[in-house]
A and B are shown apart, each in its own frame.
Chain A
């Protein structure tokens, strides 16, 4: 299942609801008492989500033998985390760090670019009535249904004709297109930017671009951060596009690199079994996004709150 496909609904609903989140809730909640039964049930569910990650952390401290022979949630006979990290960052001349850097580059450039384009387009679709706007919006909506393989091969061939395959552009350029982002920004802008403010600014003689830059952008910020966040996750997790576009391992993002190592570990190619390296690599690869996520989440939530006040 693809991240971009799944992300939209969250963006939509989150944004949609944002302007209405009230502070009025607080008062009533004070009186509520906790339920032990519900607490136990919910925390048991939490285990389901956390235990696999716990396993990943513990497994990255084991060597190959312990990985397969000791209980998954207990430490192995020896603590090999640092040795695993050592082999992770030195294997194939330390290409793993290169993959991490590539991932950051693709994700940041791709998501910032997509957010900029989506904001402009979404705002225009929401706030201007012009011939063709409906058609544009419908095309954007329809494009969400297109399966990724329909595009993969022709995109690959066209990029090859332009000598762009096996370059960072092959991954970055297609990820600039985010119909979801446009859709979401349109929904958000419709609520967040009040027409009367725009009218007032226009009557004061401000040019359209000035209105956009000085007034609307500020109002749109929470929405933009949301798009940015989700687009960041989508590009960070992207696997299919770089898989077909890139040939040189030194250009891989970490997802493709890890999948390749896992394939190599399985194929065995000689006497090389690097399961614990792959596991450690998987563990390390999710740390940056989790940190980035926690960090951005504050912005995101405060963004929703801001939207709420405006509403």
Chain B
């Protein structure tokens, strides 16, 4: 039936197009979205909505999120969820933005990385969730993570996973080189020398295409790069003493050919992990399960440790990645949409599976402390309780990572400047200033006032 209706409309398309072109009308994202209720919904209103047959669409790039949807549909049999997987995060953002711009085909719920939330709130594409009860679940989540979904006093998503960083290292390679897991960055540099000369492996790989990882390193060193007031003022401070110190450190290792610079999440990089080309992977809490699936042949050789520290005795981590589920402003079914986002990331049966089966590092306090999560031992890590280890790390993540509302540009500009310099073994410091300059120019051009 749907298709039939569309057939007849095909003829009208040309005419409509013409009118549109003449009037210059283009649909904008913040158009006819749902009007947020003035005050909080009552439970009976929610119950009624959840008992009305409804179909909602959910965009996520997680391959197995259908398992959680199944749980949700079992609990709410009247609600049907259509899952759409656009492949990967960056592909999904492109599609999501195009749909918002066109005012058509926008999903009800979408997975959005924390770093991209301001980009979508700035265009008023996300629904503010307080009236739907989001303020009531705030205390269930790790405070630092929850702060990522709050903007300008409003709640715009439910946290799904986070990425406190640590070191995964190959015991066999390090022991062959005669070194321990490096405790400080100085140790790391020394170990790099030993590993290279005794085993031929690189101590680690620093990709030039992964800004979030670099941001994690900057954050660990204490740099705060961005601010955003939720309106029209942004702060851009990517070129400062701290970041210069960090890039100078890596510059040295790259120059001495002690660190490889393969782009990550590519075929070559997967091969590097499997073949022992890299002795460590400086990664996040979602890394362990991911690695266990990607480099099966190296099972048993890996262990987890904290990130190397800038001064001995410190214990500071950083954050790499993590995402949330947001309700799109264009939704016609805000209640079931919010309930889905809430269920997947807040219901214990769902979150424990996300954590244990899909390598999403949990964001709720109860799951983080649940024995079903922390007690899990992995043969891949020689029986180490990796989850428990990262649960401890998550409290050491500094709360200095904020994002600006044009993350796409920040990212592509990074790739063209600092990322390119890493890949080309060029001048990282100069690239850092170039990045700063590009960002400021762009922000001003887009009408922001820059602090």
A and B touch in the complex (CB under 8 A): yes
A residues near B, CB below 8 A?
65, 68, 92, 154, 156-167, 169, 173, 244, 247-249, 259-261, 263-264, 266-273, 275
Q: With A65-B297, A249-B85, A260-B86 given, is the CB distance from A266 to B13 under 8 Å? A: no
What 7 A-B pairs come out closest when comparing CB atoms? A271-B293, A160-B102, A267-B88, A260-B87, A162-B13, A158-B17, A263-B87
C-alpha spacing A271/B88, complex, angstroms: 14
Cβ A161 vs Cβ B16 within 8 A = yes
Residue of A173, A264, A267 near B10 (CB, 8 A) is A173
Q: Which residues of A contact B3 (CB under 8 A)?
A: 167
Determine the distance from Cα of A267 to Cα of B87 in the docked complex, in whole angstroms: 8
What residues of A have a CB within 8 angstroms of the CB of B27 in the complex? 157, 160-161
Closest to B64 in A: A270
In the bound complex, CA of A92 to CA of B60 (Å): 14
**How far apart sit A269 and B290, CA to CA, in the bound complex (Å)?**
8
Task: Please state if A92 and B89 are interface contacts (CB–CB under 8 Å).
Answer: no
Q: Is the interface of A mostly helix, strand, loop or mixed?
A: helix
Q: Nearest chain-B residue to A153 (Cβ)?
A: B98
What separation, in Å, do the CA atoms of A116 and B271 have in the docked complex?
50
A160 touches B104 (CB 8 A): yes
In B10-28, the 8 Å CB interface with A consists of: 10, 12-13, 16-17, 20-21, 25-27
B-side interface residues, number (CB < 8 Å): 48
Contact (Cβ within 8 A) B105 A260: no
Are B86 and A164 in contact, CB atoms less than 8 angstroms apart? no
9 new A-B pairs (CB below 8 Å) besides A65-B296, A164-B13?
Answer: A160-B104, A162-B9, A163-B9, A166-B105, A169-B7, A260-B91, A264-B63, A269-B62, A271-B294
Which residues of B have CB within 8 Å of A260? 86-87, 91
Whether A270 touches B359, Cβ cut-off 8 Å, given contacts A156-B102, A166-B105, is yes
Chain A residues near B6 (CB, 8 Å)? 163-164, 167, 169
**CB of B251 within 8 Å of the partner chain:** no
Report chain B residues within 8 Å CB of A266. 88, 265-267
Give min CB distance, A44 to chain B, whole Å: 29
Q: Is the CB of B84 within 8 A of A247?
A: yes
Do A244 and B290 contact each other (CB < 8 Å), given the known contacts A162-B12, A167-B3? Answer: no
Does B101 make an interface contact (CB < 8 A)? yes
Residue B200 at the A interface, CB < 8 A? no
Report B97-116 CB contacts with A as 1/0, cut-off 8 Å. Answer: 01101111100000000000
Docked-complex contact B105 and A264, CB < 8 angstroms: no
Residues of A contacting B95 with CB < 8 Å? 247
Residues of chain B within 8 A (CB-CB) of A167 are 3, 6
* B17 and A161 contacting across the interface, CB-CB below 8 Å: yes
Q: Are B87 and A268 in contact (CB under 8 A)?
A: no
The verdict on B193 contacting chain A, using a C-beta distance below 8 Å, is: no
A265 to chain B, nearest CB (A): 9
Give the A-binding residues of B (Cβ under 8 A): 3, 6-7, 9-10, 12-13, 16-17, 20-21, 25-27, 61-64, 84-89, 91, 95, 98-99, 101-105, 265-267, 270-271, 274, 289-290, 292-294, 296-297, 358-359
Chain A min CB distance to B104 (Å)? 4
Closest CB of chain B to A57's CB: distance in Å? 19
- Say yes or no: B91 contacts A270, CB within 8 Å: no
B61, A269: Cβ atoms under 8 Å? yes
Report the nearest B residue to A265, measured CB to CB: B267
- The interface residues of chain A lying within 8 Å CB-to-CB of B290 are 268, 270-271
Q: How far is the CA of A269 from the CA of B358 in the complex (A)?
A: 9
Report chain A residues within 8 Å CB of B265: 266-268
Say how far A137's CB is from chain B's closest CB, in angstroms.
22
Among the interface residues A154, A156, A158, A273, which one has the most CB atoms of the partner chain B within 10 A?
Answer: A158
Q: A166-B105, A247-B99 are in contact. Are A264 and B84 (CB under 8 A)?
A: no
Please pick, from B10, B16, B292, the residue contacting A169 in the complex, using a CB distance under 8 A. B10
B residues near A65, Cβ cutoff 8 Å = 274, 296-297
CB-defined contacts of B12 to chain A, threshold 8 Å: 162
B16 touches A158 (CB 8 A): yes
Q: Kindly report which residue of chain A lies nearest to residue B62, judged by CB atoms.
A: A269
Can you report 18 residue pairs joining A to B where beta carbons are below 8 Å apart? Answer: A157-B26, A157-B101, A160-B27, A161-B102, A161-B104, A163-B6, A165-B102, A247-B86, A247-B105, A260-B91, A266-B88, A266-B265, A266-B267, A267-B61, A269-B62, A270-B64, A270-B358, A275-B267
A158 to B64, CA, bound (A): 35
Residues of A within 8 A of B87 (CB): 259-261, 263-264, 267
A169 to B7, CA, bound (A): 8
CB distance from B62 to the nearest CB of A (A): 6
Q: Which residues of B contact A173 (CB under 8 A)?
A: 10, 13
Residues of B within 8 A of A161 (CB): 16-17, 20, 25, 27, 102, 104
Please measure, in the bound complex, the distance between the C-alpha atom of A39 and the C-alpha atom of B9, giving whole angstroms. 58
Closest chain A residue to B5 by CB distance?
A163
Determine the chain A residues whose CB is within 8 A of the CB of B61 once the complex forms.
Answer: 264, 267, 269
Q: A158 touching B21 by the CB < 8 A rule?
A: yes
A249 to B84, CA, bound (A): 7
Q: Which residues of A contact B7 (CB under 8 A)?
A: 169
A92 → B minimal CB distance (Å): 7
Q: How far is the CB of B330 from chain A (nearest CB, A)?
A: 12
Alpha-carbon separation in the docked complex, A160 to B270 (Å): 39
Which residue of B21, B63, B104 contacts A165 across the interface (Cβ within 8 Å)?
B104
Most chain B CB inside 10 Å of its own CB: which residue of A162, A263, A264, A266: A162
Q: Which residues of B contact A163 (CB under 8 A)?
A: 6, 9, 104
List the A side residues contacting B64 at CB < 8 Å.
270, 272
Closest to A273 in B: B294
Chain A residues whose C-beta falls within 8 Å of the C-beta of B85 in the assembled complex:
92, 249, 264
Interface centre among B3, B102, B292, B297 (most CB of A within 10 A): B102
Q: Which of A173, A248, A268 has the most CB of B within 10 A?
A: A268
How distant is A217 from chain B, measured CB to nearest CB, in Å? 26
Contacting pair B10 A164 (CB below 8 A): yes
Contact of B98 among A156, A158, A248 (CB under 8 A): A156
Interfacial chain A residues near B25, Cβ < 8 Å: 161
- Is B91 touching A263 in the complex (CB atoms < 8 A)? yes
Given A173-B10, A264-B61, A266-B267, decide whether A244 and B98 contact each other with a Cβ distance below 8 A: yes
Alpha-carbon gap, A275 to B293, bound state (A): 13
Q: Contact between B293 and A159 (Cβ–Cβ < 8 Å)?
A: no
Most buried by A among B64, B88, B293: B88
Closest beta carbon of chain A to B57's beta carbon, Å: 9
Q: With a CB–CB cut-off of 8 A, which chain B residues contact A162?
A: 9, 12-13, 16-17
A164 to B289, CA, bound (A): 41
- Give the distance to chain B from A200, nearest Cβ to Cβ, in Å: 39
Report Cα–Cα, A24/B340, bound state, in Å.
Answer: 75
Residues of chain A lying within 8 A (CB to CB) of residue B292:
271
Minimum Cβ distance to chain A for residue B111 (Å)? 11
Using A260-B86, A271-B292, A272-B293 as known contacts, say yes or no to A159 and B91 having CB atoms under 8 A apart: no
